[in-house]
Amino acid sequence: MVRHIIILSFVAWGHMRPECNLAVNLARRFPDLIVSFIADADFQSNAQNEVNRIVGKDEKELLSRVRVIAAGRALEGITLQLMAAARTMDPRASRWPSPVCTQAVQNILDNIMGGKAFVDDSGTKWEGITRKPSLVISDMFMADAAVPLKEKYQLPTYLFWVTIASAFTRAFGTVAAGGQAEGYVEECDAIEADPERAKGRGFAEIAKQTWAHSGRYADDIVRVMGLKPSYEWEDFPQEFWIPAFYWAIAGCYPFVQKADGLLLPTSLQLDKEGTEGVEEWFSGTIFSIGPQLPRSYLDSQISVDSNGSSGAEVKISYANANVDDSTEVDPSIAFLDEALAKHGAGSVLYISFGSAMLPKDTHIGYLFDVLLELDEPFPFLFAAASPALQLPEGLAERVATSGHGLIVPWAPQQQVFQHPAAGWAVSHCGAGGLAEALAQGMPLITWPIAADQPQNARWVTEVLDTAFELLQVRTGLGQKKAFRGGPEGTDIIGTEEAIKAEMRDVLKRARGEEGKRKAANASKVKKMIHDAQMPGGQVDKHFELLGKLIV
């Protein structure tokens, strides 16, 4: 008897990539399962390539059961100029994904539910499947498609959250649990309607400041299970705002309230207190299914050719669409090979801020100033993937001539983390990179921007003790004061001198005894992730329980 489910993925690669892995992991575990995987039409080929990559050479039959279907174009018409302008626009007027995109997804879903043959938004023809889907797993940002699908067809619908449990509570939990969503939209509307409270601010500014500092917590201190206490404004460490943040609550919160359950990409051993915190306010079933990564990445003892990643990583570069594919050895790996021979294992600092959220350009420049001026060289590799990145004039030339670093438009991050030369990583703590780092026991220097990144950074820094966090680089409302650092907290001075002094201090500590302790803790985390994936382990058991829901 064939079973059939739908996975609704989101266009951002940090979401779509683990969701591709989830699709393959489910199809691999349940041989009678067909997965209709809905991918953004402009990223469908990337999703298909990722699925192809993580399917082992002796399990190609999986490719017939993971149907990567193109639906909607969430990024259509979005440019850097539009994104910059949108930061001051009323976010209520720029729902994301757009209604047009959502309608395109819904049209595809109706065809799937009807068992009809159809042509998807990339022009591919798909045959109908008579066995209707019995379960939906949806990214939170696909709420506008997932909720109507659930209500129209009475389908059990589970939300896939891309990162730790505590960040889920911080975003969607009750105010008592330390959450942001409860009453957020109503409070924004109430402020706008009251001239004395609005104080001449437009709705965009009201939404941003209320999102970052609602004033609903005693002494401005937020307490979320699984994290240490923090000031509310610390979840806005950088002056970065896009309308999608508003819709992350306004659009997704109703989905959270209606979802039948939640899939977390962590294990109970690693994220036990955070998961218990979610259980206190979330009414659905929770499955902790571990980080969704290729088998060979999670367990280096698994043969790549037979059971794991069988190809090179999918190249996603928003800074340079035409990434050089002509060389047999990737430039990043060649640099790491050379550093290994010259400086030894664990000698290289890998730097990546993803593609969408960036620190201040001048602050990135400060980091390179410090790295290039160190008495004892710290070789570094910088993946400059964002099209919005503007490096200080002359920096690329300085790095090239120094012999100590390399700047590339894209790096095969999983391969980088697996390389013996890689010792530390500077990261914004996006969910994808965080999971990849933890799964390889990579200690971090965190530089969060927004969204779930500040919670991720505090978790690895204060709970797991596998990271340092840069505090003086804060430019947003989080510039006020950090809760950590002693009874009086830490004042954020934010001058060039203060920022560079902190960077020098952190780099020195990373290569000292404190860094050795954090690296050892990171290795323990890697083992915990591995053990949870083993047959009979916690993740294995939760997958089996999830499988029983697929009728």
| Boundaries of every domain in the chain | 3-160, 327-531
Residue 545: half-sphere exposure toward Cβ, Cα within 13 Å? 15
Task: Give the DSSP H/E element, type plus range, for residue 37.
Answer: strand 33-39
pLDDT in tens, 431-472: 999 999 999 999 999 999 989 999 999 999 999 999 999 999
What does each C-alpha distance from 427 to 12, 358, 444 come to in angstroms?
Answer: 17, 10, 7
pLDDT at 319: 41
Which tokens is 308 given?
């794991």
pLDDT above 60 for 305: no
pLDDT above 80 for 341: yes
Give 524 or 485, the one with higher predicted confidence: 524
pLDDT above 70 for 322: no
pLDDT in tens, 354-411: 777 889 999 999 999 999 999 999 999 999 877 777 887 888 888 888 889 999 988 9
The C-alpha atoms of residue 227 and residue 322 are separated, in whole angstroms, by 41
pLDDT at 274: 98
Residue 51's nearest CA partner among 41, 543, 42, 61 is 61
Q: What integer best gives the mean pLDDT of the chain?
A: 91
Average of per-residue pLDDT across 9-20: 95
pLDDT at 477: 80
pLDDT at 331: 93
% the chain with pLDDT above 90: 77
pLDDT above 80 for 299: no
* Whether domain 327-531 has CATH 3.30.470.20: no
% the chain with pLDDT above 70: 93
Which tokens is 238 given?
């950088």
CB 359 within 8 A of CB 429: no
DSSP 313: P
Amino acid at 72: G
* Whether domain 3-160 has CATH 3.40.50.970: no
Which tokens is 295 given?
């088998």
pLDDT above 80 for 320: no
Task: Please determine whether the domains at 3-160 and 327-531 fall in the same fold group of CATH.
Answer: yes
pLDDT in tens, 52-82: 999 988 899 999 999 999 999 998 866 555 5
**From the CB of residue 315, how many other CB atoms can be counted at a distance below 10 Å?**
18
pLDDT at 80: 57
In this prediction the pTM is 0.93
pLDDT at 214: 84
